[in-house]
Structure 1
């Protein structure tokens, strides 16, 4: 595994060193086997990139480069720079939300500074041949932060009011709430509308494609 980067500049050097390589080439360097597809290996690309960039968090609920205050997000795009998927940010707190605010939330901490790493994502290209693009650092503008906070406030209010099962992926302008678990059998406690405990699937916060597309467009001057 690559040594942990000690500065932003070093982290960007690491990114530069892997840009243009295919996933199978990077996997060979790391002595990791390349799966045929991502159906049963959803987090594989992210883990491979983490290995090459010396990320330290693993699955812990903290930034991937905590000492630098930076979160790593790989983002699948096509040859035109079109974002192909929503971006998972973190798990959603469901029960203990009383003292939570946007300012002290895990999602805001995760998104305070992000290293975006575009990866070819067209399904027509075999996983092994997909190339890694140029990584870049991003911090939300005040408008972007305002939009995220607005969505977060509305979604968390619905959860607190026991309306979690009424939230759909269409809610929110830039953030969405979706079930996030290994399978449909995994459940957790939540409050129902009458304050009773109910069983629901765990949820995760995702950034909508319209939002991440704007970030990619700004970075690479795409129209």
Structure 2
């Protein structure tokens, strides 16, 4: 999954233009494999944070510079013209995910008539460029290397599992049970609070249909799901 040789420092270049095809995007991502985050940051003239506690999106932002992502913080795929989302995934020495993967913010109001087919989750996951990155804390951030990429579309079984979890979780939100949802709900996808602090509240629906204030929530893919994707592709 990770290239062992030190790649030449005159390798990848920061790309200003979005990729014109999935093949070109995959080619750009493959050119990054084996480089350390420090090497890529230096080539791009980007400052390296001490750690990721206050800069959780830094790795993704760095790779977007090389891959030509255009969406920024807009609520669409990172490569909207290609319908592809970029997801970096921290892995351990055995190639297994170290944490869950954020998909998108969970809508807590205005959900009448929404279906899996029209959901933001399905839109985000219809095609994903997974880029594994060494993530063990013992490795300094600058020395962590980028792995070989994987372009993934959910097969019928994967989509069905995602759909079942989405419908269960959205039913709980619509029925006013958002505060009863725990990380144990869902087989392959979960909903968890997503907020910088406990004062960042948003509106939701209570169990009697009344408006309540609660922490924002996000959809996350569980590690068992992403581990299976990586294992199947890389034959781990």
Match status 1:27 vs 2:37: no
Aligned-partner Cα distance in 2 for 1:120–1:142? 30
Aligned-partner Cα distance in 2 for 1:35–1:218? 33
Alignment equivalent of 2:191, drawn from 168, 172, 177? 177
Corresponding residue pairs, total: 222
Cross-structure match for 1:137? 151
Cross-structure match for 2:169? 155
Aligned-partner Cα distance in 2 for 1:125–1:210? 23
Cross-structure match for 1:48? 62
> How far off is 1:102 after superposition?
0.4
Cross-structure match for 1:198? 212
Aligned-partner Cα distance in 2 for 1:200–1:88? 19
Alignment equivalent of 1:113, drawn from 127, 141, 158? 127
Aligned-partner Cα distance in 2 for 1:189–1:149? 25
Cross-structure match for 1:94? 108
Match status 1:78 vs 2:92: yes
Aligned-partner Cα distance in 1 for 2:30–2:202? 41
Aligned-partner Cα distance in 1 for 2:212–2:219? 20
TM-score (norm 2): 0.93
The runs of at least 4 aligned residues of structure 1 exceeding 3 Å deviation read none
> How far off is 1:95 after superposition?
0.4
Any stretches of 5+ residues in structure 1 without a counterpart? none
Aligned-partner Cα distance in 1 for 2:136–2:44? 23
> How far off is 1:59 after superposition?
1.1
Please give the root-mean-square deviation of Cα atoms over the aligned residues, in Å.
0.7
Task: Please give the secondary structure, in 2, of the residue aligned with 1:66.
Answer: coil
Spell out, residue by residue over 1:161-190, the C-alpha distance to the aligned partner (whole angstroms, 9 max, x if none): 000000001100001000112222100111
TM-score (norm 1): 0.98
Aligned-partner Cα distance in 1 for 2:70–2:183? 31
Match status 1:57 vs 2:71: yes
Match status 1:39 vs 2:53: yes
Aligned-partner Cα distance in 1 for 2:46–2:101? 24
